[in-house]
Amino acid sequence: MKTIILAGGWGTRLGQLSEIIPKPMVYIGNRPILWHIMKIYSFYGFNDFIIALGVKGQAIREYFYNFEAVNNDYTIHLGNKEITYHKRHDETEWKVTLVDTGINTLKGGRIKRIEKHLDDEVNMLTYGDGLCDVNIKSLINFHKSHGKIITINGVRPASRFGELEENDGHVRSFSEKPKSSKTYINGGFMVFNRNLLDFLTPDEDCDLEYGLMEELASRGEVMIYKHDGNWECMDHERDMQHLNKLWNEKKAFWKVW
């Protein structure tokens, strides 16, 4: 089973950070968030990745091309370029396919453009900016149990604002930035059957959420795996700072490995 990671968007809300590197390469601790996402899947035994590249994709290409040097201690003999690695990294089972899916291509088009690299009936899909402590195997088992085209991981995002309940203008309760909202959103950890590709085209303007998901939902082909655990998205610079704080304080909820 392969895992597609959509890593080609512009990431404009990250401000100056996205002017230098693509969002999936923004670091949490000493590794890019892309590595953290892949470690979640790898913990559950899924090590075959397809990364859909776009904006500043060369930075991601270079990271994996130089993965040994970036993630190991080593000695290099500058005369003959012989390298001796002293500490092996833990990602030796990873297989990573990097595919240029275009600068301005929307999500649906990116998925369609990597179709030739998919050889299983069921595959997984996620974004290059979200972290979650969802049990991947339970998510897959749920998907296989209902037979529908796609399963999305429903999460309750942490609220950025205080919430209040009122009755006839009287505030009955007030919660200052409650831990999570009362509704689910798509947390981005998805499982889909191969026939999802029949609804997609390689066109730049082929999207996933807008239009297609609505159509599939109207047909009863979208299921939600409700996850009441933790989820965070690196959308703004403050999110990057928050995730780094969690990592540095050893409170990273997504670190299941």
Give me the pLDDT at residue 175, please. Answer: 58
Residue 217 lies in a domain: yes
Asked, for residue 230, whether it belongs to a domain, the answer is yes
pTM value? Answer: 0.90
Residue 10: per-residue pLDDT = 79
pLDDT computed for residue 256 by the predictor: 95
- Can you give the residue range of the structural domain that contains 121? 3-155+183-248
CB 118 within 8 A of CB 194: yes
Helix (H) or strand (E) holding 74: strand 74-77
**Domain-embedded: residue 170:** no
Q: What is the pLDDT of residue 254?
A: 98
CA distances from 161 to 14, 90, 164, 175, 231 (A): 20, 40, 10, 9, 17
Give the pLDDT confidence score for residue 20 in this predicted structure: 81
Please report whether residue 107 resides in a domain. Answer: yes
Residue 162 lies in a domain: no
Radius of gyration of the chain (CA): 20
| Residue 163 in domain | no
Across the chain, which has 257 residues, the per-10-residue mean pLDDT values are 94 70 95 98 98 96 95 93 88 96 97 96 97 98 97 84 60 58 87 98 95 94 96 92 97 97
Check: CB of residue 222 under 8 Å from CB of residue 209.
Answer: no
Total number of domains constituting the chain = 1
- Residue-wise pLDDT tens digits, 39-86: 999 999 999 999 999 999 999 999 999 999 999 999 999 999 899 998
The whole-number pLDDT of residue 174 equals 60
The contacts of residue 172 (CB under 8 Å, 6+ apart) are 164, 165, 166
**CATH code of the domain containing 228:** 3.90.550.10
Residue 245, SS3 per DSSP: helix
Q: What local confidence, expressed as pLDDT, does residue 157 receive? A: 82
Contact 54, 8 (CB under 8 A): yes
Residue type, 41: Y
95 part of a folded domain: yes
